Amino acid sequence: MSNANREAPPSAGRAGIKRELPEHFRDYRHVWVFIELERGEVHPVSFELLGEGRKLADKLGIQLAGIVLGPPCEATQHAVAEAFAYGADLVYLVEAPLLADYRNEPFTKAMTDLVNTHKPEILLLGATTLGRDLAGSVATTLLTGLTADCTELDVDVDGSLAATRPTFGGSLLCTIYTLNYRPQMATVRPRVMAMPPRTDKPVGRVIRHKLSMTEEEIITKVLGFNLDRQSAKANLAYADIVVAGGLGLGSAENLQLVKNLARAIGAEYGCSRPLVQKGWMPADRQVGQTGKTIRPKLYIAAGISGAIQHRVGVEGADLIVAINTDPNAPIFEFAHLGIVTDAIRFLPALTEAFTRRLSPHSHDKLAS
């Protein structure tokens, strides 16, 4: 047989997979975003996801919906209004006293009933403690796929959700598809996506759904609520200025240089993953995809090499300043300003310079 007549071998990878959506999934449409409401406050990641969901919905030519689950109160109605202000075309609302506090059973029941009734094509949730717990149980109940901790969301040529996330310990990025199941589910960490603009507009179409569950059916009981004040100490995700240190600092004692600079310029301080693994800093100070994803106006990285998992967690910063003795360090590939020098000697000098030039009221100017 000649080469001209020989049948081409099947292509490998994504292009070679035969995608045939089962008949009962073909009427699943629209993009849904879970509006995370807890203790009367909407988590900002919900608005970030509405911005990303808007892009997906526009590419697919379908609607963007917000999903609000909460008790009958003013805070729940405010969450509905905010969903429209950040771009939702409509809102699905489940109001019930059982939803006053987050418990997996009633929230999973409410969400899965909504999905089975109204059939969304894509369902996005924030990768928060609450969102991760809910997403896993919803995906398991619906027998569909879930891609966690995504760094990028897009739509493939055939309309499938392309969800990209780090893998192999953050050393690689992979794109995952849920080809033959619906909804296509994904979670995204806070600050991975940009915050969309807020626009005041009237509340649009609200579709109400009843929660078919009683208190007697719920195993978990809420006895009280105690705020974890320790967890509020580090506010890396929403800081305007962040200073972080890595293995290049040489010792745990030298992290004080990072803290001193952070104090001088009114910044939060953090570290790279190896320092947490060594026990030099607590986990809530870790910057990167496997720690806190940040989008500050200024990020100063001292002695950090810049592995992929660190890069995807910080590249949303407006200005990245990297300080490293190795001119070939990966961090210089994505930093806006690179300084090849010893951070141990440079940080004290930088701190002194900022201290001389900045008045106690100048920190806001630095971040503006």
Residues in the annotated binding site: 272-273, 286-290, 303-310, 324
Please provide the DSSP assignment of 187-233 as one string.
EE-TTSSPPPPP------EEEE------GGG-----------GGGGS
Residue 46, helix vs strand vs coil: helix
Binding residues for FAD: 272-273, 286-290, 303-310, 324
Q: Any idea which residue has 């910063």 for tokens?
A: 317
Return all residues near 340 (Cβ < 8 A) that are at least 6 apart: 324, 325, 326, 327
In contact, 82 and 42? CB cutoff 8 Å: yes
In contact, 81 and 200? CB cutoff 8 Å: no
Return all residues near 142 (Cβ < 8 A) that are at least 6 apart: 112, 115, 116, 183
Q: What is the distance between the alpha carbons of residues 279 and 318, in angstroms, rounded to a whole number? A: 30
In contact, 100 and 215? CB cutoff 8 Å: no
Closest CA to 99 of 91, 87, 111: 111
Q: How far is CA 358 from CA 69, 85, 352, 353, 361, in A?
A: 46, 38, 10, 9, 8
Backbone angles phi, psi at 111, to 5 degrees: -70, -45
In contact, 320 and 296? CB cutoff 8 Å: no
Residue 237, helix vs strand vs coil: helix
> Tokens representing 343?
């951070």
